[in-house]
Amino acid sequence: MPLSLTEVPSGQKVFDWFIPDEWNIKDAYLITPDQRKIACFTDNNLHVVNYSVPINTNIGFEELKAHLHTLPDLPGAIPYVTSYYENNWGFCLDYHTYQTLPEHGAYHAFIDSTLAPGSLTYGEAVLEGESDEEILFSTYLCHPSMANNELSGPLITAFLYRELKKLPSLRYTYRFVVAPETIGVIAYLAERGEHLKAKIKAGYVITCAGNPAPFTYKRSRHGNTLADKAAEYVLHETSNGRASVLDFFPYGSDERQYCSPGFDLPVGSIARSMYNTYPQYHSSLDNKEFIDMGTLAESVSMCEQICRVLEADEKYLNQIMMCEPNLGRRGLYPTLGGRNITNQDILSMNWLLNYSDGNHSLLDIARLSRVSIRELKEIAEKLVNAGLLAKINSVASLVGYRTKLPE
């Protein structure tokens, strides 16, 4: 994915925030009184609290303890800890190692880091479509070594980009954003927020979508936007009832910014095991073994199917509104009537013709009829060729699933 990068300098105000200094680190470790070298940054970057200030000092255990982080409930795991907005330093250890630490004697704590003006980086890629109306995919890149709650998002987004780029044409323009969570997206919205407010038709935050658990879709703040309709339609069609759909709640990932009341964009969130709901979350156990490539591919496919639904979701107008058109003389209806004359193509034609009244898009008709939008689209094109439907400008309407259809 050919990301164009934007650098936002430290100290710049972005809405209510300031871009912090840039943190860089070369090495870090602890030397125990019995001369073991532990918590080596070079073994695992999680050993150092992210954004730790430099330190190079001898220190007793009592004082050191306040700077050590462990997970007694997951004794083999190194926790993931950050201190972005306060000068601090610390080491993260698995609890087994922590238990071997002598209480007496001098430790040596060493962190060779710098915290100095620099810049925050975010990346953006755009696939131009026929329309300047946009679909957004946003993910984050700021939890080094986390797999599900980090790597999964950029991987899925990048592969989705590749799949969409293969398509011969796109109706919508697709925008892909990779930024540090929270501050990165705030910086991004400070730059692009007004543009998105004007252009975005649907958007999704991709997070924690690499572990083999069923999908979770978290609705946009309005709960019935085009983003929600399309995602729920695809989940409904593909998940055999195993996916969860949650109403919006104002904590979680970057939908917090996209759905802050001043933006209130049609942005939902696609995940599998959501943040905070799995024990490996924010620890060294959220690693490559916790995710797998098949699952990631399936997540890419889910996103692609949502895009295909959005692409397909045209609106047509029936050209013969008074009574049904005569399908037979246009070769669209069997000439021999009897039992079972109503094959699925003809039922689909009926749905399209009756509901292409200016108020219903293909996605609406798919939800009413339980015929797939792909099939409806094919049939709709036949009906356009026969002069029975005409494509009109799409407007999202709000039709619910039907509860009851005849057997």
Interface of this chain with a second copy, residues 90 to 119, rule: CB under 8 A:
90
Shortest Å distance, C-beta 326 to a second copy: 5
- Contact in structure between 355 and 367 (CB atoms under 8 Å): no
CA 230 to chain centre: 14
HSE, side-chain direction, 13 A CA sphere, residue 89: 19
Residue from 35, 56, 393, 403 that binds a second copy (CB under 8 A)? 403
Question: C-alpha dihedral over 342, 348, 352, 353, to 10 degrees?
Answer: -20
Q: And the tokens for 1?
A: 């994915």
346 binds a second copy, rule: CB under 8 A: yes
322 binds a second copy (CB under 8 A): yes
Per CB under 8 A, the list member of 347, 390, 392, 398 interacting with a second copy is 347
Asked if 6 is part of the footprint of a second copy (rule: CB under 8 A), the reply reads: no
Nearer Cβ to a second copy (153/193)? 193
Residue 146 CB, nearest approach to a second copy (Å): 12
Residue from 28, 38, 49, 179 binding a second copy (CB under 8 A): 49
* Site map (CB under 8 A) of a second copy, residues 232-261, x = contact: -------------xxx-xxx----xx-xxx
* Distance from C-alpha of 260 to C-alpha of 221, rounded to nearest angstrom: 9
- 16 belongs to the binding site for a second copy (CB under 8 A): yes
Q: How far apart are CA 182 and CA 176, in angstroms?
A: 16
75 interacts with a second copy by CB under 8 A: no
175 binds a second copy (CB under 8 A): no
What is the rounded CA–CA span in Å between residue 312 and residue 373?
Answer: 7
- By the rule CB under 8 A, 366 interacts with a second copy: no
- The reply to whether 84 sits near a second copy by the rule CB under 8 A is yes
Q: How far apart are CA 318 and CA 355, in angstroms?
A: 8
Cα–Cα distance between 61 and 63 in angstroms, integer? 5
Q: How far is the CB of 356 from a second copy (least distance, A)?
A: 8
Q: Are 200 and 134 in contact (CB under 8 A)?
A: yes
Terminal CA-CA length for the chain: 47
Residues 275-314 close enough to bind a second copy by CB under 8 A: 276-277, 281-283
Least Cβ distance, residue 328 to a second copy (angstroms): 4
- Alpha-carbon distance 226 to 364, whole Å? 10
Position among 2, 72, 168, 262 found at the interface with a second copy (CB under 8 A): 262
Minimum CB–partner distance for residue 105 and a second copy (Å): 27
User: Residue 122 in contact with residue 35, Cβ under 8 Å?
Assistant: no
343 contacts a second copy (rule: CB under 8 A)? no
Nearer CB in complex with a second copy: 33/54? 54
- Report which DSSP code applies to 291: S
Among 357, 391, 392, 398, binds a second copy (CB under 8 A): 357
103-111, 114-122, 203-211, 353-361 -> range binding a second copy (CB under 8 A): 353-361
In the bound complex, what is the minimum distance in angstroms from residue 376's beta carbon to a second copy? 13
Task: Please give the single-letter amino acid code of residue 354.
Answer: N
- Letter string b/e over residues 137-165, b meaning 16 or more CB atoms within 10 A of that residue's CB: bbbbbbbeebbbbbbbbbbbbbbbbeebe
